[in-house]
A and B are shown apart, each in its own frame.
Chain A
Amino acid sequence: MFEAKFEDGGLFKKIVEAIKELVKNVNLEANGTGISLQAMDTSHVALVALQLNEKGFKKYRCEKSLTMGLSIENLQKILKCSGNDDQITLRTQDEEPTTLSFTFESKNRISEFQLNLMSLDQEQLGVPDTEYSSVVRMPSNEFTKICRELGNINEAIGIETSKEGIKFYVKGDIGEGQVSVKINDTEKPEERVECEVDEPVNLSFAVRYFNLFNKASALSSQVILSMSQDQPLVIEYIIEEMGSLKLYLAPKIND
């Protein structure tokens, strides 16, 4: 039997909101340590990796590892029947479940839904736990804003790191520009900007994907960008007390 109860069901809804435009059908994996999900976007340029640790749930039980194939669109239809302040419990009964049960619980109502599961054949990638040569932490709303602004000018956005900080730049038909974000160690953790640069990087990415990734900014006030030259970048949103959502994007290559 599998059972996982979110004290804050709104958080689960935010996670689904954050990934719904990137992935369609996903395998949700549950085991004794928690729930995880890994899926490539339809163009196979981005990778979504979610990890929710067992300790972050109000209640968690998983006796046997389980793979649950679901359609994000259908999951969202069911989640629309829940309130943002509901507690949400996910549950399966059988060893090889064909449905995933949802209980939505508020002060004055309890709702039960069953979502039909699918069998999905999806390639799982082994993402090595590497050290990145530049790691930047900055406010997630600031990153969202920069991507939106520069995305108006060109479809590709450059990121350059140095000991001094991080610079975003664009070069388009209409002209060019750059935004440098200053390092600061303000007492407000959500406004902090930190750069750890062992080796500077200079990379270019399709801003369209960043704009999709930025839907996840509702999960965390800070975003962590981890980069190494000519390698996919990782954009990480820490989900407080529960785990993290990592979004990987392959860089553009100059032929």
Chain B
Amino acid sequence: GPNQRTINSYFSPK
């Protein structure tokens, strides 16, 4: 079914 990646997999750490 539909899954979800974590938000920090889209944005890199500062």
Interface residue ranges, A against B (CB under 8 Å)? 40, 43-47, 123-128, 156, 204, 206, 231-232, 248-255
Interface SS majority for chain B: mixed
Interface residue ranges, B against A (CB under 8 Å)? 1-14
B5 → A minimal CB distance (Å): 5
Number of A-B contacts (CB under 8 A): 56
Q: Hey, which chain B residues are within 8 Å of A251, CB to CB?
A: 4
Instruction: Contacts A156-B2, A206-B4, A255-B1 given; indicate if A250 touches B13 (C-beta within 8 A).
Output: no
| Complex Cα gap A46–B2 (Å) | 17
| Complex Cα gap A204–B2 (Å) | 9
Q: Hey, which chain B residues are within 8 Å of A127, CB to CB?
A: 11
> Contact: A125 with B4, CB < 8 Å?
no
Name the CB-closest residue of A to B2. Answer: A252
Q: Hey, which chain B residues are within 8 Å of A156, CB to CB?
A: 2
Determine which of B1, B3, B11 lies in contact with A47 in the assembled complex, contact meaning CB atoms within 8 Å. Answer: B11
| Complex Cα gap A127–B2 (Å) | 25
| Complex Cα gap A14–B2 (Å) | 33
